[in-house]
Structure 1
């Protein structure tokens, strides 16, 4: 069954998920002055348009009118001794259109149009779908073909439907229009009409595209805590992240950065949202032989290597036999791993720097 992305009617434009931006508190505080208590907020939203440049009519009140709320912030003024209240919005935000704070960091688009809260209800409450993420550098992406192939392959597995790769590529290109900065793009495939009680009904997958600012600078080395856990359908990049995030949280509570997943008998598989590679005593890159997500960064790095890349079972007990480790995913590329439980490697390693350089030298594909 082929999938034709519908042109979704737009009833309202809602605010996107919270993401980093400039705190608009000072600007809004000046507008409301020394308010005696909570009151309604009336932010002015810029006229919304679809990715095709068409105006979106019948706009509902933006979510900002509900999310930007008055919160008491009692403060003693040293000069006047008075207590004031000011508007305290969330510290992070990203908008579909220009918000009161002037943030313009992208938006969320469903099949090429600004998405509504109602259209996201199934994704939020049923949480059934799949996705891929990548960094776009001025509308160029490393490994774009692999990401598109993943979406097509996973759509067949998750929905038993064929995804139009060219149409997805076109929607990505339109979503990136006007983005000169580096952004992390996430393409999520889900069916807004899917019912929890009847998931076997013929699906009509839709394409949700979001963008956020890409991380800058070199990511700090990772310290990992191991945990026995296997993701459901590990070869599919699906939206069911509860188990992985639960173990990541437990690792961070214990003072680590992330979790290294293993089988019940201690064989290494993957990190919560990354692949892991080990460096043996001869300086060769070794991937765990396990049922894991075939990450695009892992595949690209293996192809770029002039030297032999190995795959074999690796147990936690064997980690001291290796001289280093890396984590790979499309958002950060190649990242050093310095600790797994009680095994510690040196922070700076020439081979890790070489692997990072080799990955960054891979040509980009134009969207």
Structure 2
């Protein structure tokens, strides 16, 4: 009998990791059901949906326009059967049968307790947890460090989780300590080569010269309060646009930060036709702009509590697109792509980062060399080379006698 996989998540519908996972499972013959708990996007309609051929159902919870109220209500309700009952009802509406042998693949820690409640009433289900981030480091409030709510969910459900997917091999041992009853695999955030137009990327590099325009790009989290250093990205953008007329900047993503929106408007007015705040764009358009970009940002704030080794979607996408990454973060595989990246230490001063980026802009020959080098290493970071770990893990958690490799 074909194994069913129930994907539980609260991620944006365009999230790269979730969508790659779903497409891979469908390509390999799994029956895929996605229950998307929508907490943040009021324009998304509740009900059945499908992005890739999966049988999906979206559940809209509480007031999606009031994030604080939504968060409080959501976390209270995860400790009751309410969300679990909604999930089970939604699954039946899209054709899932309780008698099916199923993996409940959880992409968000806040849904672990919901999944645990499901396994208690649906005996043919097994939990696999996709741990996108690291939650061991607490958060400070009024000078006191408190455990993160995500970590609390993990502790409560430790024994129920039979498989864990982490984003880095370096986290396998720590995950084993946190989830001692689980098999552990690593699936880094590598891109799918089929998502990109290699011809356009090659043409960008082949046609690049000292007279070419230089495009800088960032798509992702947009809020001055997040751990991404958006203030530094805008500072770099302002200095580069002011001093180098052949440059353009493209920044996009969802944001409700009015101060940031105002700063985008100011830069757009100051550099018309050169500074572009795109807002949210479909995934396909993000890829098209990144394919034509020459430099891409991946910058974390040095004082963030979340300074841990990361497997950044953006860096691997930049490499795939022949785009030079500008990095201030502790990233996996940095030694492999250091020749085609600008990589800064945690406490490198902002002024130094701005100066180094400006110096690179003045060296088109060096930019060209780095873009070519990114093409040389990109084949080391392909999704198909690691995604088979999902299948291996599913086999292991459903065959207890086989130990984790």
Tell me the TM-score range normalised by the shorter chain: 0.3 to 0.5
Q: TM-score, normalised by structure 1?
A: 0.33
Which of the pair has more CA radius of gyration?
1
Q: Which has the higher contact order (CA 8 A, sep 6+)?
A: 1
Higher helix share: 2
